[in-house]
Structure 1
């Protein structure tokens, strides 16, 4: 009945307005009967006008309620644009409103929060004495009010508990942990409370940390897929969890049965098949669904997830599950930069590259291009680059998308220990002095998925990189012999090149070595010739000179003999290792140059006779012979 009355009123008002004003729009909703002069209106128009009237009434009620609540502090000038706003007064009113809202939210705890904040301000200062007493006082207030769980999840009070946990004695810390254990899952996901979890992991006892980890059972996948909680789960699994706890955390990915019923015998994915017969396909499908959920959530930068991913890829390459694995690998391609942060993740990324077809391999290279420098200089990430260089048939794509960008930041890669490994593989692949034989065999397993001959591919890559490295050495020859690790890379490069190219480098390097001020990085006091690593590098290059001499190519020994001054000879003869370098230099020369060497060193025979070193005695014999 009420609705009908309201409709009659609105119809009457619309009729009056239609008589006064005629609408010019042709597309209006108004309908006119030919029989009667009175205009009629559609239901849609009536309902819209009802809604507008209700919204206006609602705004009026809100204004009246605000006036009753806040009295004079409420001003009409907020809504009236004609009047000028008094900004200082407006800010004061806003602060008052904020305080009143907080008091309304925490009616019972508003006085307690004020008391607690006063103690917190003192406790957080470094120079505050008697912090144990303050922390006990603060803890008693929170424990009596039974508000610890409420305080942790709030944005302003979570810092108070974080500070209390940091400075409190161990007994109080254990009680706080027991109070907060029921809500650890929600704390991990909270924007503010997750900081309290990190402090608990840092300062809590081992028993309290193990209880915290056990409280997460049943919601591992939920936490791993969360933006905030995923990072904490990574630190828990990688640093804090014990061996048995790691097994329990992994089991939640395998099967829903193992979420509730933990079994320590199920340590790996293949152990989960023994629980139920003929359940391999079902378990693999379950693991795949959980991993795809994490990929879609972009939550793959996690050591726990990387281990599960590696287990899944290694298990699903046989039988019916191979098709599902191929589908899953396509999904994982955009996430490869997040996988190379751990050992298991880098290995799984290598498998993804191997099992991908040629088109998707190029897509992987394009994805890695933006992160290439970080991946090359990473402990585990550089292994993926080595696998790509070793297994990709398209060597032009390798030059365009890997070698050229690397050469732009050559100095950073050369001074990094993992970056040098990438350069070393490009120069002399599968060098057993640098790479472990097991790792070389692992990379060679991926050659099954490539068609080109191994030697041909490696020769093509070296031809592409040879001239680029020569130019970089010419720009800065001093860096090539700045330390032993870079020197090993240069010696490997000198072994591969030949002809006039090697002569130019030998001339530049010999100028640096023969100077009396030549010293190794981070060792100002000691001469470079006395450094163990640098001594090994020089011996290696001079031994290579013997084979070069037989081929009739340029050698480092010849260039050193030209540039060695009496001052540098005197410094080298005084040292045992210097004498041994000179012996190798003598052996690498031909007969004519050896005679020239003897004439120059006859002046230093007295110092060699007085020297107690064995190297000096051998060198003296060489000169006198």
Structure 2
């Protein structure tokens, strides 16, 4: 009987399973229909079937061979040749190869006739489509940058005018945006104005891009005139202003001044554009700060909370410009308690930078003046700043923050207009102003005293820091005053006390506007850095990054005011500081009768050696005179007894201070 092929296979499989110890599972066999396949009875993998099939015997003349090993060198070479063939098909390939040869010569610092090489390159890129391809490519964009640097003024103007056609696309390109920066750095004022005009129509798009946002900020801050700035802001008011600009619109309120029914749609467009930028964390832009401030001033109260909530985490990025700082202040005033905590949390990490910044310190003072929770204020702000007090005192903004902690609203330290502006925020707080300020001073008085006593010499190191020290002494309680005054008088009475005083120059150096001079100075600076790197690597055998950074900082700060070392008692600014401190002795004596004053402590610390030096200095004599005038008769008698052994030397002096001192005492 002839067996079906499928039945034969099934029997063989079963036999194979039995021989190899496989368990045979009972299968439910169903009746097959005409259209069903016989192989559906068994569910066997192909692995078993393949094992049962007879293997074909290879012929003796076809022995099995190993796979041939890939020649990777040949493979890479073929790949390079294929890439080269593809490049050669392009029109710009030959031009690019020739341009690179010229660029190698142009990039060599020893090459003299660089203007001629730039002209050759310009003639190669005479076609607009070639120039567009070159400026967008990663390698050839460097050639364009070098051309903009070394070209003659007329050729640079011509090349820049051609590049301005694609400047909006170049600004968002990873490589071409460097060419835009070169146009901005080396271009004439006319070219910079044209650059601002060329960006019109793409302002919102550029503001939302990571690369172009920085270029837009630079153009808005330094190149654009007031009219162009207004045009840039208009593009945030809606798509209507992308192609057509209105000369009568200078602010957001002007956009719907004559059509109040358009207010909601315009504010909605501004909000959506701002949200796009805020979501990408690209808010560190002066143009965005201006638009945000306008929106916060014009939007309704119910819409304010949404934008304020979005801005809570990015407040530190808003404090880099005046408009941004005002916008951040409005956000803080209008925010809820929860959002205020979020703002404090976001600024804690950057607090030292904020307090030392030109605009950021104003926001810090606003928070100090408006926040009701004084304990949280001390914990979040002062405790964070306390380890960095010396860093703060080195800058004007930092000193103003410390002064507001100690003497808030004092017209001797702050302009009345500034005080009025800051105190507008009091309507957003509930606690009494005087109560809040008293609580803050009580909490910071002790740590501030400890800081001054640890390094008293620093707190009298110059006139600016000295004035803050005088303000602190005036507000301290008697016990803390004694601790601080003892340390300060020891510094003043030291015969070796000297300070580094900067000499003011009559000729104030201004930045040159000549492009050629700017290029020449930057080239020289770069050469000096390279020479220093080569020298240090030759001497040490390896690069030392710390020394390199120090040298770079030295080069950048070459033009600084000359510093002269002089006696502290002789410096004009510190003379005013000491007079101010001694002037408060009368008030302190009235509050604490029989107690020590700054003048009494100073006289006790003076040695014979120090007195001999002071008598020969006009300003030092006036300080002794101030001690006598602002203290009791007992102190006057003590000064007479101290100066009596040196009366002959005092009478020999012809200075006004010495003459007045003799009249007062003898």
Q: Is the structural similarity TM-score above 0.5?
A: yes
Quote the Cα distance in structure 1 between the aligned partners of 2:272 and 2:253.
Answer: 17
4+ residue runs over 4 A deviation:
16-23, 31-34, 82-86
Check 1:148–1:616 CA distance in 2 against 1; reply closer, same or farther (3 A cut): same
Quote the Cα distance in structure 2 between the aligned partners of 1:483 and 1:324.
Answer: 49
The residue number in structure 2 matching 1:3 is: none
**Residue 504 of structure 1: CA displacement?**
1.6
- Match of residue 101, structure 1, among 69, 77, 83: 83
> Secondary structure of the equivalent of 2:117?
helix
The residue number in structure 1 matching 2:582 is: 542
Which whole-Å deviations, capped at 9, do the CAs of 1:98-140 have from their partners, x for residues lacking one?
4642541452322222211111111122221111111111111
- Match of residue 470, structure 2, among 491, 514, 520: 491
The residue number in structure 1 matching 2:134 is: 151
Check 1:96–1:37 CA distance in 2 against 1; reply closer, same or farther (3 A cut): closer
Which whole-Å deviations, capped at 9, do the CAs of 1:454-498 have from their partners, x for residues lacking one?
111111111111111111112111111111111111111111112
**Residue 34 of structure 1: CA displacement?**
5.3
Give runs of aligned pairs for residues 260-339 of structure 1, distance below 5 A: 260-316=243-299, 321-339=300-318
**Counterpart check, 1:254 vs 2:237:** yes
The residue number in structure 1 matching 2:38 is: 38
> Secondary structure of the equivalent of 2:494?
coil
Q: 1:542, 1:557 within 8 Å by CA — same for their partners in 2?
A: yes
Quote the Cα distance in structure 1 between the aligned partners of 2:565 and 2:122.
Answer: 57
Quote the Cα distance in structure 2 between the aligned partners of 1:325 and 1:386.
Answer: 23
> Secondary structure of the equivalent of 1:408?
helix
Quote the Cα distance in structure 1 between the aligned partners of 2:263 and 2:453.
Answer: 59
Give runs of aligned pairs for residues 141-290 of structure 1, distance below 5 A: 141-143=124-126, 146-290=129-273
Quote the Cα distance in structure 1 between the aligned partners of 2:432 and 2:407.
Answer: 16
Q: 1:602, 1:623 within 8 Å by CA — same for their partners in 2?
A: no
**Counterpart check, 1:481 vs 2:521:** no
Q: Which moved more, 1:340-349 or 1:594-603?
A: 594-603
- Match of residue 650, structure 2, among 589, 595, 608: 608
**Counterpart check, 1:618 vs 2:665:** no
- Match of residue 516, structure 1, among 488, 495, 502: 495
The residue number in structure 2 matching 1:450 is: 429
Check 1:510–1:562 CA distance in 2 against 1; reply closer, same or farther (3 A cut): same
- Match of residue 566, structure 1, among 608, 614, 636: 608
Q: 2:172, 2:211 within 8 Å by CA — same for their partners in 1?
A: yes
> Secondary structure of the equivalent of 1:152?
helix
Count of matched residue positions in the alignment of Structure 1 and Structure 2? 558
> Secondary structure of the equivalent of 1:274?
coil
Check 1:277–1:416 CA distance in 2 against 1; reply closer, same or farther (3 A cut): closer
**Residue 145 of structure 1: CA displacement?**
8.2
Check 1:33–1:119 CA distance in 2 against 1; reply closer, same or farther (3 A cut): farther
Quote the Cα distance in structure 2 between the aligned partners of 1:619 and 1:34.
Answer: 133
**Residue 512 of structure 1: CA displacement?**
0.6
Check 1:19–1:272 CA distance in 2 against 1; reply closer, same or farther (3 A cut): farther
> Secondary structure of the equivalent of 2:229?
helix
CA RMSD of aligned residues (A): 2.7
TM-score by length of 1: 0.84
The residue number in structure 2 matching 1:76 is: none
- Match of residue 571, structure 2, among 506, 531, 543: 531
**Residue 525 of structure 1: CA displacement?**
3.5
Quote the Cα distance in structure 2 between the aligned partners of 1:296 and 1:132.
Answer: 46
Which whole-Å deviations, capped at 9, do the CAs of 1:411-452 have from their partners, x for residues lacking one?
222223211211111111112222222221111111111111
Q: 1:149, 1:179 within 8 Å by CA — same for their partners in 2?
A: no
Quote the Cα distance in structure 1 between the aligned partners of 2:286 and 2:138.
Answer: 29
Check 1:96–1:352 CA distance in 2 against 1; reply closer, same or farther (3 A cut): farther
The residue number in structure 2 matching 1:72 is: none
**Counterpart check, 1:431 vs 2:431:** no
> Secondary structure of the equivalent of 2:500?
coil
TM-score by length of 2: 0.79
Unaligned runs of 5+ in 1: 1-11, 24-30, 42-79
Higher relative contact order (CA 8 A, sep 6+): 2
